[in-house]
Chains A and B, each alone.
Chain A
Amino acid sequence: MTMHAVDTALAWALRMSAWIGWAALGLMMIVGTGDVIGTAFFRRPILGAFEMAGSALAVVMFIGLIHVQTRRSHIVVDLVTAGLRGPMRRLADCFALFGTVTALYLIARQTWPLMLDSWRIREVSIGAFNFPVYPVKTLICLGATIAAAIAVVQLLQSLVRLFPRREGGAA
């Protein structure tokens, strides 16, 4: 797989995941507002509003991981690393990405059995309105896995930067 193919796949994943995340946020807002209006003015709350909003939140959080990792917008305590320069800085970057890859792997690994179990029993939400939960858990698994994959790619790129090729060296 060439770097171009990786970039194209990443751009596509980013675009799709952004739309899914925005839709989930919109759903949360509309369901929440609709439920308040329905309850206050018509005495008719939206059935399953809490469960739907909760599922949408999970989608936002896990799909959002793709974007957080792509931009590397995690919260960092850069008290020590901010002062580093040159190779030390690159080494610290590698270490930071290694820690991030480990954490995202731990999270992503367990979203797979979570998704597969849900598909096996065709899981639906508990409550007055039963909507299928397995598509939600699929998106969660995809979000965490793609984020972990992006972190791995970033780590590999960081390792390449750690050992820069000398000009005029062997081709």
Chain B
Amino acid sequence: MSPIELGLAAIAATLVLALAGVPIGPAMIVAACGGMWLTVGERFMWATLKTLPFDFASQYTFVVVPMFVLMGVVAARADIIQDLYRAAAKWMGGTRSGLYVATVAASAGFSSISGSTVVNSAVFGKVALPEMLRNGCHKGFSAASIAAAGTLAGLIPPSLSFVIYGILTGQSIGQLFMAGVFPGLLTMAGYLVAIVLVVRLIPGYAPTAITRYPLGEKIRSLKAVWPILILATLVLGGIYTGTMPPSAAGAVGAAGAIVLAFARRSINARGLADSFQETMILTTTLFIVVVGGLLLGRFFVISGFIREITALLAAFDLGVYSFLLLVIGLYLVLGMFVDPLSMVVVTLPVLYPISQALGINPIWFAVIIVKLVEISAVTPPVGLNLFAVMAASETKISAGEIYRGILPLLAAEVVILALLVAFPAISTWLPAMMIGN
């Protein structure tokens, strides 16, 4: 078999196993090991299995994953989101599109201390959706706004998507975090514009009741928000100024979130233990998928698949934008059916080396990939965030309602993606400005 055939066979084996119900991590491990056994032999396979999982699992750089997960989990348990949402609703809820805007803004705020888009969507599905529906907002559009706003956690640091990209490609996680700031803010602005336009064009989407609060009450609501601001500033400021590596910033953030939660008396020892347990399970779930991706990536390299496929694309004289267009098409189609993490881990070991051969800035490429991943999280029929909101809400929301509601926000996503592709500086400027870069 030629290297290209070997690589394609490994991808096909992974997909067949995954579609037959084998979890994606084990599916990749089995496919990669089978490939190594057949191409370079049993000894190489065992040697790789002895070293790779432990070497990956014991790297200090990846301490960032459980620490930021813990920070987000504790913050979600400690009712911090309720306060954040109440403050945003009081300040912004006084207009026709106000509650939708408040949801997006509060979700963006929470994204600065939580890196998981699914957690964001699920928690806001519990907190914001009942409030929106009580005020007569449109059911499907409310749920869709929450799901879309959840994706901000994928771009605004600390983002788990960027951490996974960093692990798989060896890029600086600190720089990747900073690269997500402006695209995250741009995405938020895009959602807000889309929401205001939709509510103006379709009056039925506007809430039936609009509550306006006096200035005093608005200012009082900010009292509950300042700890989040301090925590986010400490963590992101530490990374930006180079005072703390991302892993240490994560540890400080997690410790800060726990101190904050105990100070507010919104968590007890049992809640803390549950947070630790949730963090451990989420970290390990990611670990097994990433180990699978790394093993598959190693197989692609040793089988010569990467070298051959890059040469093949070079022979086609594929330019940067043609390649990006292919990647966008691939992710948009895959994203409709495959969950985001699996999609990245399976495709990145192939796409990243090609992008480097074409001279694409790795930070810019990271932002485009993460943006595509986040779009896939809200793309029907398999939109992870859409399901998270549907599952978390106590109100029955049909898939049809939420699918219709997400369409205007997907249109906004296409414009935002086009801007990110057209203007790489949106992604690359801030990392280039990092102190100590």
Contacts and interface: CB of A to CB of B under 8 A. Distances in A.
B251 interface: yes
Given A35-B248, A63-B280, A67-B277, A102 B26 contact: yes
Interface centre among A30, A61, A64, A68 (most CB of B within 10 A): A61
B247 A58 contact: no
Contacts of A56: 63
A60 B276 CA distance: 10
Contacts of A99: 17, 20-23, 26-27, 30
B46 A110 contact: yes
B26 A57 contact: no
B335 to A, nearest CB: 12
Given A22-B277, A25-B66, A96 B251 contact: no
B243 A26 contact: no
A73 B285 CA distance: 7
Contact of A57 (B49, B58, B238, B254): B58
A110 B304 CA distance: 25
A1 interface: no
Nearest to A112: B50
Contact of A79 (B19, B27, B252, B255): B19
A86 to B, nearest CB: 15
A75 B24 contact: yes
Nearest to B258: A29
Contacts of B281: 64, 67-68, 71, 73
A76 B21 CA distance: 7
B248 A75 contact: no
A155 B18 CA distance: 17
B149 interface: no
A18 B277 contact: yes
B53 interface: yes
Contacts of B251: 28-33, 35-36, 53
A61 B57 contact: yes
B50 A114 contact: yes
A74 B247 contact: no
B276 A22 contact: yes
B280 A64 contact: yes
B37 to A, nearest CB: 10
Contact of B58 (A54, A75, A98): A54
Contacts of B284: 60-61, 64-65, 67-68
A58 B252 contact: no
Contacts of A61: 57, 283-284, 287
Contacts of A55: 58
A112 B29 CA distance: 18
A75 B22 CA distance: 9
A170 interface: no
B104 to A, nearest CB: 27
A142 interface: no
Interface in B36-78: 46, 49-50, 53-54, 57-60, 62-63, 66-67, 70
A156 to B, nearest CB: 17
Interface in B251-287: 251-252, 254-255, 258, 273, 276-277, 279-281, 283-285, 287
B67 A28 contact: yes
B342 interface: yes
Contacts of A110: 46, 49-50, 53
A6 interface: no
A53 B250 CA distance: 12
A80 interface: yes
A50 B26 contact: no
B403 interface: no
B323 interface: no
A92 interface: yes
A140 interface: yes
A100 interface: yes
A95 B30 contact: no
Interface string A28-47: 11111101100010000000
B339 interface: yes
A54 B49 CA distance: 19
B421 interface: no
Given A79-B19, A96-B21, A67 B26 contact: no
B244 interface: yes
A16 interface: no
Contacts of B49: 106-107, 109-110
Contacts of B58: 54-55, 57-58, 136
Contact of B24 (A22, A29, A50, A77): A77
5 closest A-B pairs (Cβ-Cβ)? Answer: A32-B251, A64-B284, A99-B22, A74-B23, A103-B26
Given A22-B273, A29-B70, A79-B382, 11 more contacts: A28-B63, A28-B67, A50-B60, A51-B60, A61-B283, A75-B24, A75-B25, A81-B19, A99-B26, A103-B288, A106-B49
Interface of A: 18, 21-22, 25-26, 28-33, 35-36, 40, 50-51, 53-58, 60-65, 67-68, 71, 73-81, 92-93, 95-96, 98-100, 102-104, 106-107, 109-111, 113-114, 136-137, 140
8 contacts: A22-B276, A29-B254, A29-B255, A64-B287, A79-B382, A80-B20, A103-B25, A104-B26
